[in-house]
Amino acid sequence: MIIHNAHFYLNGSFANNIKAIKVEKGIITQLLESVPAHLDEAIDLQGGFAYPGFIDCHTHSISGGIYTLGVDLAGCPNIAALKAQISSHAQKQKPDALIFAWNFDEGSLTEKRFPNQAEIDELCPDQLLLLRRIDGHSCMLSSNAKAKITALKSQDAILTGAENDLVTNWFHAQLDDEAVMSAYQSAAKVAMQGGFTTVHTMIGDAEMSIDHFKMLQKRLPELPIEYILYPQSFNIDAAMEAGSPRIGGCILADGSIGSHTAALSQPYQDKATRGSLYQTDDFWKGFITRAHENKLQVAVHCIGDLAIKQINDVYLELQHTNPQDLRHQLIHCELCPDEQISQIKASQAIPVMQSAFDLYWGNPGGFYEQRLGRARAQQMNRFASLIQSGIPVCGSSDWYITPMNIAMSIHAMIHHHNPLERISAQDAINTYTQNAARLSHDEMRLGRLQPGFQADLSVLNADLTQRFDYQAVRTNYIVKKGMQVYAYTPNCP
């Protein structure tokens, strides 16, 4: 099999004399300086720019997949429009369907508020409705759904923290295997459109049930791209029983900046609170130590400086007392003061970061500045400082929170709002290729176009090492294990 007619990204540039790639059984066997005269089996990439298959290191693809089939409230202007969108979607669904509405942002409504319970209850009285805030950290549900979730103790209309997780997981757990698989098929299509060949994905709450994780493990070959699975739970026994080499994901050390629940050493600028740590130091020490001793890679969500410190301190201590090459993860790692960077270097933990957060929230006068003030807004998402310290930062979207879109992600890293945190296109590409491959111990298999590596290619219409308009970049082809699994079709973007 010969892959040809493309510019190939090798050693940080397209400036090379490679004209084709030879592939056997899904593995690159040779880089060729000329295209063979006789092509029996070939993929013609039509002059595109071929990168090593991009890897998104942190997503919630089950949620995203479900929501792409639900109601997207992005850009919704007011409560009346929200009601109209949800009711018209619900009317088209089966009478016993679960209705998922997402991307809700009260800040962008004229009313600047959540709907009240009565407004929610009138939308689809016979169906169960879940409405999620854009950051995933708070939600509302219809009263009929509330009545069904017996484990839910709170009477609050807006649910956060553990209750937000509980009801979201309950909704997901109602889906049968086929509904789960169609959500992943939908998610895989979104990933390929965005330029990705491999996606790390967080799965449910294995404390409630590990069934979904096990089912997906078995059925991964049905999906066109590769998923790297995380049992997103505190249940170490269940993760090991399922044969997972890792545990965690967005298991929460703290909340989010949007909900004023990220744990900060100094109060928020716009509210008299410092957020809070969701668990004690002892809890994390016990959990992470036991996972580490069982050779599980650990991933924990930490956004505020206190949360990053709390988790990294445990990683650091374990690195001293029982060093292992497990590559524990600091998911988000958003507010990272200078002194914390050297501590992360010492712990050998890996920040798994979301470049689009800066694009969305880092602008002068923007969301970070409103919540945190100028000085701290400058210390958010510190790609350059971390990378210059030799820390192998990994890139991700946290999809459904921000889009899986490689061009947007690279653009956001190159054009960080704080000029001191900008990185080169090559470094940005590395966070989604070589560094990302290393995160799952796949650095000898993924992330490079080289003999011996899997033939995964993301083919775009643009050279990301030159000036580019990310909104004009599109994915032309995705090649996975030497097979073309996606091609752009003009009328169906």
Cα–Cα dist 164/465, whole Å: 41
Q: What are phi and psi of 43, to 5 degrees?
A: -120, 120
398 is an interface residue for Zn ion by CB under 5 A: yes
183 is an interface residue for Zn ion by CB under 5 A: no
381: left (phi over 0), alpha (psi -120 to 50) or beta: left
Kindly tell me which of 59 and 475 has the beta carbon lying closer to Zn ion.
59
CB of 349 to Zn ion, least distance (A): 16
410 is an interface residue for Zn ion by CB under 5 A: no
CB of 251 to Zn ion, least distance (A): 9
Kindly tell me which of 202 and 429 has the beta carbon lying closer to Zn ion.
202
CB of 458 to Zn ion, least distance (A): 22
Cα–Cα dist 449/53, whole Å: 9
Footprint of Zn ion on residues 210-229 (CB under 5 A)? none
Number of residues binding to Zn ion, judged by CB under 5 A: 3
CB of 332 to Zn ion, least distance (A): 6
User: Minimal CA–CA distance to 199: which of 218, 186, 180, 209?
Assistant: 186
Q: Which two tokens stand for residue 197?
A: 């060949």
CB of 360 to Zn ion, least distance (A): 15
Cα–Cα dist 13/435, whole Å: 17
Kindly tell me which of 56 and 456 has the beta carbon lying closer to Zn ion.
56
CB of 452 to Zn ion, least distance (A): 32
Q: Is the peptide bond before 400 cis (omega within 30 degrees of 0)?
A: yes
292 is an interface residue for Zn ion by CB under 5 A: no
Kindly tell me which of 329 and 465 has the beta carbon lying closer to Zn ion.
329
Question: CB atoms < 10 A from the CB of 315, how many?
Answer: 24
Cα–Cα dist 302/151, whole Å: 26
12: left (phi over 0), alpha (psi -120 to 50) or beta: left
Kindly tell me which of 146 and 301 has the beta carbon lying closer to Zn ion.
301
203 is an interface residue for Zn ion by CB under 5 A: no
CB of 30 to Zn ion, least distance (A): 39
CB 350 within 8 A of CB 378: no
Kindly tell me which of 398 and 421 has the beta carbon lying closer to Zn ion.
398
Footprint of Zn ion on residues 295-324 (CB under 5 A)? 301
Kindly tell me which of 250 and 386 has the beta carbon lying closer to Zn ion.
250
Query: Interface with Zn ion by CB under 5 A: which range of 69-77, 363-371, 382-390, 397-405?
Result: 397-405
Residues comprising the chain, all counted: 493
Cα–Cα dist 394/381, whole Å: 12
Kindly tell me which of 3 and 66 has the beta carbon lying closer to Zn ion.
66
CB of 24 to Zn ion, least distance (A): 37
CB 238 within 8 A of CB 247: no
CB of 63 to Zn ion, least distance (A): 9
Q: Is the peptide bond before 278 cis (omega within 30 degrees of 0)?
A: no
Sketch the per residue contact string, 78 through 117, with Zn ion: x for CB under 5 A, - otherwise: ----------------------------------------
Kindly tell me which of 256 and 319 has the beta carbon lying closer to Zn ion.
256
Cα–Cα dist 439/392, whole Å: 9
Strands (DSSP E) contained in 309-354 are: 329-332, 350-354
Q: Which two tokens stand for residue 444?
A: 């000898």
Q: Binding residue for Zn ion (CB under 5 A) from 180, 183, 250, 298?
A: 250
Which spans of this chain sit near Zn ion (rule: CB under 5 A)? 250, 301, 398
